[in-house]
């Protein structure tokens, strides 16, 4: 899931990348703040002439943005957070959502009860910073992981049982790569080796830790999925993904170089019995398209798998594979070829799948692809625009509703849906957009 639009080397989410995002957001805030201050000043003078100071106007969302940007230090709980300052959003219903936002050197947690129109600070300083990832299956239980590894190479999981107001570290690790919660049942996919410098890292087994009580107690699944990860990782450790379909059925996806200097490859493991046993599933992505992968599903058997090459100059070769039998067999649905990035490998397929923009692991989190049915899905490559399909991934087009609502390509962000029609696109440090019918979009906030 930034600064590599003109860089011929593969991008990597780093502190510099984060700095570029925040710098751009700060410039936008200053520009908006200056304009609003001028308007407020002129309006105040006019009001003073007309009503002699007898009328005190209610604080607007633009004024809330000024207040948010101008305050220093930790913000008080309940402080309004403008949607334009959000960095990542999740929604557990059409109304209730949580988000990360960056304020100075702090990453804070905000929540919304009105579908994303208004946001207020819940925790002014999270225990790990953006680009961490978060998940809330209900109003009380939250899970936070990712971000920069500690000095010992660990990437811990933080758990909240009070709606994100306080957090405790889960006794699992050392490297928590992805988390999925269904009601009180929580699974975490964990790398067993700490993050190591490039060139000196082994490939290590992956385990799945399970909690049945909202993250209070943990234990590994009865058996271990047949996948490994290369522990030489970048800031956000994203070469392992957990795709949980139901309380008992789940997939673990591992991808990237094999740790021994070999080509990139993917491995998929599947369980139908809560981790008591695991079976391998074929990964259809060619080696040159296996530097980044993401798995999503609309049902037990309907799977979508995106594959991507190394990235450079704002582009990646990409492919989309579909399976209707739980991953036993795959068909190529669409492809975006860039032979110079994929060892001159070209796939048969087109469909408008975008070459521009980056997906995992160059993007923040595993939220580039949102699948809402066997026909409908949304793709938001990092540094690109948002694309949609309505025919199962065979053809893709720029989402026209988002363009009309003012979303401009070129930033980072994520796309999420609470159900088949209620969705949100967060453009990091720029704005938040919402749809309630899957077609028409509205920008939220000022």
Kindly tell me the burial class for residue 268, based on how many C-beta atoms sit within 10 Å of its own C-beta (0-12, 13-18, 19 or more).
buried
Using a pLDDT cut of 70, give the percent of the chain over it: 80
Domain assignment of residue 322, yes or no = yes
Evaluate whether 445 touches 61 at the Cβ level (below 8 Å): yes
Predicted pLDDT at 91: 97
8 pLDDT tier (thresholds 50, 70, 90): very low
Predicted pLDDT at 27: 42
- Residue, of 298 and 2, whose pLDDT is higher: 298
Predicted pLDDT at 146: 87
Predicted pLDDT at 75: 93
Three-state DSSP string of the chain: CCCCCCCCCCCCCCHHHHHHHHHHHHHHHHHHHHHHHHHHHHHHHHHHHHHCCCCCCCCCHHHHHHHHHHCCCCCCCCCECCHHHEEEEEECCCCCEEEEEEECCEEEEEEECCCCCCCEEEECCCCCCCCEEEECCCCCCEEEEECCCCCCCCECEEEECCCCCCCEECCCCCEEEEEEEECCEEEEEEECCCCCCCCCCCEEEEEEEEECCCCCCCEECCCCCCCEEECCCCCCCCCEEEEECCCCCEEEEEEECCCCCCCCEEEEEEECCCCCCCEEECCCCCHHHECEEEEEECCCCCEEEEEEEEEECCEEEEEEEEECCCCCCCEEEEEECCHHHCCCCCCCCCCCCCCECECCCCCCCCCCEEECCCCCEEECCECECCEEECCCCCCCEECHHHHHCCCCCCECEEEEECCCCCEEEEECCCEEEEECCCCCEEEECC
The domain tally of the chain equals 1
Domain assignment of residue 106, yes or no = no
On the question of pLDDT at 348 being above 70, the answer is yes
Query: What is the average per-residue pLDDT within 97-103?
Result: 94
CA 363 to chain centre: 8
Q: Mind listing the pLDDT tens digit for each residue in 390-441?
A: 999 999 999 999 989 999 888 889 999 999 999 999 998 899 999 999 999 9
Q: Which one, of 292, 386, 281, 359, lies nearest residue 323 by Cα?
A: 281
Domain assignment of residue 391, yes or no = yes
Average pLDDT, the chain: 83
Q: Mind listing the pLDDT tens digit for each residue in 188-223?
A: 999 888 887 765 667 788 999 999 999 999 999 999
- Residue, of 233 and 169, whose pLDDT is higher: 169
Predicted pLDDT at 263: 64
**What residue has token string 């080509």?**
263
Which two three-digit tokens encode residue 51?
Answer: 């009503």
On the question of pLDDT at 31 being above 50, the answer is no
Pick the most confident of 98-107, 268-277, 357-366.
268-277
Q: Mind listing the pLDDT tens digit for each residue in 366-397?
A: 788 999 999 999 999 998 999 999 999 999 99
Predicted pLDDT at 186: 97
Kindly tell me the burial class for residue 30, based on how many C-beta atoms sit within 10 Å of its own C-beta (0-12, 13-18, 19 or more).
exposed
On the question of pLDDT at 187 being above 50, the answer is yes
Predicted pLDDT at 201: 64
Predicted pLDDT at 266: 84
Domain assignment of residue 112, yes or no = no
Evaluate whether 101 touches 442 at the Cβ level (below 8 Å): no
Query: What is the average per-residue pLDDT within 134-141?
Result: 96
- Residue, of 94 and 44, whose pLDDT is higher: 94
236 pLDDT tier (thresholds 50, 70, 90): very low
Query: What is the average per-residue pLDDT within 112-135?
Result: 94
Predicted pLDDT at 257: 64
Domain assignment of residue 9, yes or no = no
Evaluate whether 84 touches 127 at the Cβ level (below 8 Å): no
Q: What is the pTM of this model?
A: 0.84
Going 312 to 317 to 322 to 328, the CA torsion angle's sign is: negative
Predicted pLDDT at 199: 57
Predicted pLDDT at 150: 86
On the question of pLDDT at 56 being above 60, the answer is no
364 pLDDT tier (thresholds 50, 70, 90): low
Predicted pLDDT at 305: 96
Query: What is the average per-residue pLDDT within 149-164?
Result: 93
Domain assignment of residue 415, yes or no = no
Query: What is the average per-residue pLDDT within 338-360?
Result: 91
Note down the domain range covering 359: 288-398
Predicted pLDDT at 255: 85
Domain assignment of residue 115, yes or no = no
Domain assignment of residue 373, yes or no = yes
What are the Cα distances from residue 173, in Å, to 170, 283, 392?
A: 8, 26, 37
Evaluate whether 107 touches 94 at the Cβ level (below 8 Å): no
- Residue, of 24 and 185, whose pLDDT is higher: 185
Q: Mind listing the pLDDT tens digit for each residue in 307-319?
A: 999 899 999 999 9
């Amino acid at each position: 899931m930034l600064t590599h639009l003109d860089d011929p080397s593969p991008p990597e989410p780093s502190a510099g990348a984060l700095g570029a995002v925040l710098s751009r957001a700060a410039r936008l805030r200053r520009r908006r703040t200056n304009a609003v201050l001028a308007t407020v000043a002129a309006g105040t003078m006019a009001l003073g002439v007309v009503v002699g100071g007898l009328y005190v106007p209610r604080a607007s969302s633009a004024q809330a943005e000024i207040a948010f940007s101008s305050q220093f230090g930790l913000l008080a709980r309940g402080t309004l957070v403008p949607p334009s300052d959000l960095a990542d959003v999740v929604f557990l219903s059409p109304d209730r959502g949580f988000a990360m936002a960056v304020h100075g050197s702090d990453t804070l947690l905000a929540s919304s009860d009105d579908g994303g129109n208004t946001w207020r600070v819940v925790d002014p300083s999270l225990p790990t910073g953006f680009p961490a990832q978060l998940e809330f299956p209900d109003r009380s239980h939250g899970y936070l992981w990712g971000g920069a590894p500690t000095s010992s190479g660990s990437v811990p999981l933080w758990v909240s049982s009070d709606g994100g107001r306080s957090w405790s570290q889960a006794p699992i690790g050392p490297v928590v790569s992805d988390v999925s919660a269904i009601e009180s049942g929580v699974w975490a996919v964990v790398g067993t080796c700490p993050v190591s410098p490039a060139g000196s890292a082994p490939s290590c087994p992956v385990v799945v830790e399970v909690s049945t009580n909202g993250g209070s107690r943990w234990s590994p699944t009865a058996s271990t999925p047949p996948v490994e990860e290369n522990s030489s990782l970048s800031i956000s450790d994203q070469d392992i993904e957990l795709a949980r379909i139901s309380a008992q059925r789940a997939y673990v996806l591992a991808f990237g170089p094999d740790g021994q200097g070999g080509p990139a490859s993917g491995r998929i493991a599947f369980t139908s019995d809560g981790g008591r046993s695991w079976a391998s599933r074929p990964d259809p992505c060619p080696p040159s398209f296996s530097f980044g992968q993401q798995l999503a599903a609309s049902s037990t058997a309907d799977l979508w798998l995106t594959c991507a090459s190394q990235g450079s100059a704002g582009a990646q070769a990409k492919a989309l594979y579909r399976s209707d039998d739980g991953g036993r067999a795959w068909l190529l649905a669409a492809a975006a070829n860039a032979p110079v990035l994929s060892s001159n490998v070209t796939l048969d397929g087109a469909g408008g799948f975008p070459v521009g923009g980056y997906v995992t692991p160059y993007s923040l989190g595993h939220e580039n692809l949102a699948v809402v049915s066997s026909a409908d899905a949304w793709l938001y490559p990092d540094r690109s625009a948002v694309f949609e399909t309505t025919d199962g991934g065979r053809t893709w087009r720029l989402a026209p509703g988002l363009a009309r609502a003012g979303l401009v390509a070129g930033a980072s962000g994520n796309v999420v849906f609470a159900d088949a029609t209620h969705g949100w696109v967060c453009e990091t440090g720029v704005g938040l957009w919402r749809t309630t019918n899957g077609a028409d979009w509205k920008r939220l906030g000022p």
